[in-house]
Amino acid sequence: MNQENQGSDKIGIMKYEDLTYKIIGCAMEVHKHLGNGFQEVIYQRALSIEFDNQGIQYSREHEMQIQYKEQDIGTRRVDFFVENKIMVEIKAIIDLEDVHLAQAMNYVEAYDLEIGLLINFGAKSLQHKRVHNNKIKKS
C-alpha cells in the first residue's frame, strides 16, 4: 500500500494541496526546533504557535460528533481541525504503524471530511501521511 499518495487523484492534483503543504511545513519547523522525544501535548502546543505565526485558522482538541447510519454515537477530539476542512492527528511515537493510518482514515470518514493528515513527531525525522476519505466520490 502506497501510504504517501493516499488521496491523490490520477492527474496528481490533491484536494487542499496548498493548505496541507503549509500544515506539514509548520510541523517540520516544530520538529526542527524540538526534535523528537517530547510528549504529544508539547508538539501540539508548539504546532499551535506555528499555526498562529503562519496565519492558519484552527481549533485545537476539537470535539467532533461520530455517527453510525446517521445516528450520533459519541464524540472524539481531533488534535486539530484546520480551516474547517482538514483533520490533523498528531503522534509522538517511535514509528507510525498501519493501525495509526487506519485510525486517521477512520476519523476522516467518521467526520465526513475529505482530507486528513497524520503527523508523527516521535521519529528522528518527521513522519507525515495524507489520508483521503474513500467514501466521498470525486467530482
Confirm whether 109 is domain-assigned: yes
State how far the Cα of 82 lies from the Cα of 58, in Å rounded to an integer: 4
Confirm whether 139 is domain-assigned: no
Max avg pLDDT among 70-79, 80-89, 101-110: 80-89
Confirm whether 104 is domain-assigned: yes
Confirm whether 106 is domain-assigned: yes
Confirm whether 43 is domain-assigned: yes
State how far the Cα of 41 lies from the Cα of 115, in Å rounded to an integer: 23
Confirm whether 61 is domain-assigned: yes
The DSSP output letter for 100 is H
Give the pLDDT band (50/70/90) at residue 39.
very high
State how far the Cα of 4 lies from the Cα of 115, in Å rounded to an integer: 13
Confirm whether 138 is domain-assigned: no
Confirm whether 137 is domain-assigned: no
pLDDT at 99 over 50: yes
pLDDT value of position 22: 97
Least Cα distance to 122 among 98, 94, 99 occurs for: 94
pLDDT value of position 4: 41
pLDDT value of position 67: 79
How many Cα atoms are found within 13 Å in the side-chain-facing hemisphere of 110?
20
pLDDT at 133 over 70: yes
- Spatial CB neighbours of 11, under 8 Å, sequence gap ≥ 6: none
Per DSSP, the residues of 39-63 read -HHHHHHHHHHHHHHHT--EEEEEE
Range of the domain at 105: 3-132
Average pLDDT, the chain: 87
User: Pick the residue with more confidence: 38 or 134?
Assistant: 38
Q: Tell me the average pLDDT across 114-131.
A: 95
pLDDT at 53 over 80: yes
Q: How many CB atoms lie within 10 A of CB 71?
A: 7
Number of domains in the chain: 1
